[in-house]
Amino acid sequence: MTKTPDPAPLALLYVRVSTGRQAKTGHSVDSQPIILRTAAEKAGYVVEVITETGSGRNAARPALAEAMSRLKSGKAQALYAVDIDRLARSTQHLLEIATASTKQGWRLVVTTTDVDTSTPAGVMFFTMCAAFAQYESGMISQRVKRQHEARRDRGVVWGKDEGRRSALPAATVARILSLRAEGRTLQAIADTLTGENVSTAAGGKWYPSTVAKTLNSPANRPTLAA
């Protein structure tokens, strides 16, 4: 009698889009499933995409809660995310997820940082990354707050420079600032923006020179230096 092969394990691909604009356009969502699907299928999983809308600071995320429930019950065997800040910005919540994966016997994989909680080293590295993600979030919040306060004191509207509007939306400039603060190279920033379908001021593709021009633009310096 031929034995029926065991079904392939299931990986849930957690995709989160964090702003209203991104949720409407799907810009930041488009590249995430491709990256996650490639990694999970290479590891031998069948996959299912779980999409969440909302800020990483908001703990009320029903899609993630559903995924965790399915993992706990054994209906899925792995959870994949592109980056730690796709899961949450709270170190405590991130560690709760990592602890659950260890105790319940499922695998947590973060592709951009090569975190895999199926190993002790992976758990340790995840803990370090979680702490850094929360620190980074706090630093970015402080910078944004200072920018708003300084520009308000000068009577300048956010996204403008002393009466002249920046060629790019303020959100795009802030995104470039955030990526640069993470230590990303100009090429890495260009690749990220292109992957998220974010257009340049001219509506084209991003290149390292385009990113550098944006960082050095007089219209953006108050935002970047505040």
Residue 226 and residue 224: Cα distance in Å, rounded?
6
Residues known to be catalytic:
18
Whether 61 and 25 have beta carbons less than 8 Å apart is answered as: no
The one-digit pLDDT tens for each residue of the chain (226 residues) are 556 666 789 999 999 876 544 444 343 556 889 999 999 999 999 999 999 876 555 556 889 999 999 999 999 999 999 887 777 656 777 778 888 988 999 999 888 777 777 777 776 776 676 666 666 666 777 777 777 676 665 544 444 444 444 567 878 888 888 888 888 899 999 999 988 888 887 778 899 888 888 887 766 654 444 4
pLDDT digits (tens, 9 = 90+) for 86-133: 776 567 777 788 889 889 999 998 887 777 777 777 767 766 766 666
Burial of 218 (0-12, 13-18, 19+ CB in 10 A): exposed
Residue range 10-131 in CATH 3.40.50.1390: yes
Note whether 26 and 17 are within 8 A (CB): yes
Cα separation, 211 vs 88, in Å, equals 27
Q: Where are the domains of the chain?
A: 10-131, 154-225
What tokens does 102 get?
């260890």
Q: Taking the mean position of all CA atoms in its chain, how far away is CA 218?
A: 28
End-to-end CA distance of the chain: 73
Residues with Cβ within 8 Å of residue 114, at least 6 apart in sequence:
125
